[in-house]
Amino acid sequence: MVELNKIPSTPPENFSKKEARKQTKAFAKQLGKLHNVLLAQKKYAVLVIFQGMDASGKDGAVKNVFRYCTHNNLCTYSFKKPTEEEFAHDFLWRVHKQCPAKGEMKIFNRSHYEDILIQRVHRWIDEDRVQQRMQAINAFEKLLQFDNNTILFKFFLHISKEQQEIELNQRKNEADKFWKHNENDWREREYWDDYMRCYQDAINQSVIPWHIIPTDQRWYRDYLISKIMVERLQQLDLEYPPLESE
């Protein structure tokens, strides 16, 4: 049972920042090579899910971890407020059509879990609907996994409330971050405890497990994510296809 308030949001004591950055670069380069084989082989799809509170570093993780991946068949999608058309369908309709095909790597910056997080926190749906959606999410992810050879990486970016305040203030005070500033992020921060409860519940009810990534220090976040992805993909039978005979 995951208890988020008992999991540190900082790196282990005496963990070398210099060595972590060195290894992160090596892992990122290896991830780029593995992605190229994935593209060529077209046997597996890869779906990477980033969830976390505002300012937990989702954009930065995308930028740093995937910097050596080819632009072919690598795509990031961010789920916003549903359109009228999307509202007229089931909540997974808009998600399914964004999922990667075999040979593709897709990154979800926020995901289908928003529909049992923000909607639950603000009580736009009741608890019965929450549980029904959680069951649907588990079934949906299993479908992707077993019917389309989709490898799912689910990362919860675990930031402390104190560090989030620092990050949000930087968006108001540093010119190169002004564009990220959103007053609504501060309003959502008022629901911190409710969000932690809902995140924790979603993590514990998930069939496909989550990776809890301490993210107060961005360099440690990048190190863990790149390491986890490379080690998992290396377990697959990834290989370039042979030359086709005429």
1-39 pLDDT tens trace: 999 999 999 999 999 999 999 999 999 999 999 999 999
**Helices 218-233 and 58-65: angle between axes, nearest 10 degrees:** 50
Query: How confident is the model over 152-160, as a mean pLDDT?
Result: 98
Q: What is the pLDDT of residue 245?
A: 76
Average pLDDT score, the chain: 95
Task: Using alpha carbons only, give the angle 200, 91, 105 rounded to the nearest 5 degrees.
Answer: 75
Q: What is the DSSP string of 158-189?
A: E--HHHHHHHHHHHHH-GGGGGG--HHHHHHH
Cα four-point dihedral sign 59, 65, 71, 75:
negative
**Residue 241, in any domain of the structure:** no
**Residue 92, in any domain of the structure:** yes
Q: Are strands 105-109 and 150-158 parallel, antiparallel or unpaired?
A: unpaired
Helices of type H across the chain: 17-41, 58-65, 84-87, 93-96, 118-121, 127-147, 161-173, 183-189, 192-205, 218-233
CB count in 10 Å sphere of residue 240: 9
**Residue 244, in any domain of the structure:** no
Q: What is the pLDDT of residue 77?
A: 95
Name the residue type at position 147.
D
Percent of the chain's residues with pLDDT above 90: 90
Percent of the chain's residues with pLDDT above 70: 100
**Residue 67, in any domain of the structure:** yes
53-89 pLDDT tens trace: 999 999 999 999 999 998 888 999 999 888 999 999 9
Q: What is the pLDDT of residue 219?
A: 97
Q: What is the pLDDT of residue 81?
A: 87
Residue 58 CA: distances (Å) to CA of 42, 109, 128, 147? 27, 6, 30, 28
The domain that contains 103 carries what CATH number? 3.40.50.300
In the block, which residue shows the tokens 């989030």? 164
Which residues on neighbouring strands pair with residue 109, listed in sequence order? 50, 78
- Domain range for 150: 4-233
Residue 229 CA, chain-centre distance (Å), reads 12
pTM of the model: 0.95
Q: What is the pLDDT of residue 246?
A: 65
Q: What is the pLDDT of residue 155?
A: 98
**Residue 240, in any domain of the structure:** no
How many domains would you assign to the chain?
1
**Residue 131, in any domain of the structure:** yes
**Residue 245, in any domain of the structure:** no
Q: Which residues contact 58 (CB under 8 A, 6 or more apart)?
A: 50, 51, 52, 109, 110, 157
**Residue 182, in any domain of the structure:** yes
